Amino acid sequence: MTQSTSGTPVLSVRDLTTSFFSQRGEVQAVRGVSFDVHPGEILGIVGESGSGKSITCMSVLRLLKATGRIKAGSANFDGQDLLALDEADLSDIRGNKIGMIFQDPMTSLNPTLSVGEQVIETILRHRKATRAEARARAIELFELVRIPSAADRLKSYPHEFSGGMRQRVMIAIALACDPRLLIADEPTTALDVTIQRQILGLLRDLQARLGMAVILITHDLGVIAEVTDRIVVMYGGLVMETGPVRELFAHPMHPYTRGLLASVPDLRDDTHRRLTPIPGSPPDMAHPPAGCPFTARCPHAMRQCAAELPPIFGHSQGARCWLHHPDAPRIAGINEVAA
């Protein structure tokens, strides 16, 4: 594994493999994903739609729909394998030691309960506290996530809040029991940029103050650059590249990461310079290619690429690409520093 941060990880995922089964056959959503999250760090998971980001995290929390099945792997949290725990022990960890912010309606707010009641319920489910204590804690949490007139707003219903305020309530619920790990799946995707900025600032601030670890899933490279320490780039159900955010943006090792970074316009450039898209589209996970899933779109694809899936090469920064095999041809900027 490629890991730069030392110490015991909060969460250690190994070889996670998850598929969905239907009449149409098997959809191989996650195909052997490994990564660590360390205390006090924000790990970003980035990748395009369908690359397996959400299913990776849903698998770790065992919140998959009935058609989904974890076929292999482990997820070590606090000395326990979450994938082997029984449901009772697991539900004690979910929403307690691991906080979650999902866009998925299953885990979002209940429209028939006041937001205060929903926070109080979460606290009472996991903590020995009186209602009054839970209520006081709820007010404290609303203040923490900067909801104005916190005490009054406890009585409001979700529909009485704006999108940004609802996301603050979701964060308050996720933080209710002082989690050691917060998993946030696209927490700002539905929000406007000015509100997104407020929520990202809040997340970063809370993470530093509470010292928790965060997994932030997004497809927005800007958001990744803005708040994460280390990132995992996913494609076709696999980790394609991983490393510290600065190194990875400065010297992407993987052709997919490079393509992704090159395809977004540079905000500082107003010359109408032509964009550099990645040709083609992502693979269908019902029929994933045998070799590297990026082969059909990769400008450097070699015979070996279609034949065999490459392993991850590298140390603190690593990439799943044959170009990093010691015998591979040299390509400027990828496995060779440009002259």
Partner 1 sequence: MTEQPLVSIRDLKKHFTVGRKLFGPKPVLRAVDGVDLDIRRGETLGLVGESGCGKSTLARTLIRLYEPTTGSMVFDGQDVAHLSERDLVPFRRRVQMIFQDPYASLNGRMTVRDLIAEPLEIARIGTPESRTAKVHELLARVGLHADHANRFAHEFSGGQRQRIGIARAIALEPDLVICDEPISALDVSVQAQVVNMLEDLQDQLGLTYLFITHDLSMVRHISDRIGVMYLGKIVELASNTDLYARPSHPYTRALLASIPVPDPTATRPADPVRGEIPSAMAVPSGCRFRTRCPMATELCASSEPTLRDIGGGHLAACHYAGTELAA
Taking each helix axis from N to C terminus, what angle separates 131-144 and 115-126, rounded to the nearest 10 degrees? Answer: 120
Rounded alpha-carbon distances, angstroms, from residue 26 to 52, 71, 95: 14, 12, 30
Strands (E), the chain: 11-22, 25-37, 42-46, 68-77, 80-81, 98-101, 181-185, 213-218, 230-235, 238-244, 312-314, 318-320
Nearer to Mg ion, 51 or 317 (CB): 51
Q: Which stretch binds Mg ion (CB under 5 A): 46-54, 69-77, 234-242, 323-331?
A: 46-54
Q: What does 255 interact with, of ligand ATP, ligand SF4, partner 1, none (CB < 5 to 8 A by kind)?
A: ligand SF4
For residue 216, the minimal CB distance to Mg ion (Å) is 12
Taking each helix axis from N to C terminus, what angle separates 163-175 and 131-144, rounded to the nearest 10 degrees? Answer: 130
Give the whole-angstrom CA distance, residue 123 versus residue 34: 32
The residue within the footprint of Mg ion, chosen from 18, 34, 54, 76 (CB under 5 A), is 54
For residue 14, the minimal CB distance to partner 1 (Å) is 27
Site pattern 209..248 for ligand ATP (x: CB under 6 A):
----------x-----------------------------
Using CB under 6 A as the criterion, which residues of the chain lie in contact with ligand SF4 when the complex forms? 255, 292, 294-295, 298, 300-302, 305, 310, 321-323
The residue within the footprint of partner 1, chosen from 3, 64, 108, 249 (CB under 8 A), is 249
| Other Cβ atoms within 10 Å of 314 Cβ, number | 16
Q: What does 136 interact with, of ligand SF4, ligand ATP, Mg ion, none (CB < 5 to 8 A by kind)?
A: none
Nearer to ligand ATP, 149 or 281 (CB): 281
99, two tokens: 């906080």
Site pattern 18..47 for ligand ATP (x: CB under 6 A):
--x------x-x-----------------x
For residue 321, the minimal CB distance to partner 1 (Å) is 16
Give the whole-angstrom CA distance, residue 219 versus residue 283: 17
90, two tokens: 């697991």
The residue within the footprint of partner 1, chosen from 272, 326, 337, 339 (CB under 8 A), is 272
- Contact present, 206 and 236 (Cβ < 8 Å): no
- Residue 283 near partner 1 by CB under 8 A: no
Q: Which stretch binds partner 1 (CB under 8 A): 4-12, 16-24, 29-37, 245-253?
A: 245-253
In this structure, are strands 68-77 and 80-81 parallel, antiparallel, or unpaired? antiparallel
Q: Write the DSSP symbol of residue 195.
A: H
3-state class (DSSP) for residue 271: coil
- Residue 181 near partner 1 by CB under 8 A: no
Nearer to ligand ATP, 64 or 328 (CB): 64
Q: Write the DSSP symbol of residue 141.
A: H
Give the whole-angstrom CA distance, residue 253 versus residue 245: 12
- The contact set with ligand ATP (CB under 6 A) reads 20, 27, 29, 47, 49-55, 65, 67, 219, 285
| Binding positions for partner 1, rule: CB under 8 A | 48-49, 162-165, 192-198, 200-201, 219-226, 245-246, 249, 259-261, 263-267, 269-270, 272-279, 281-282
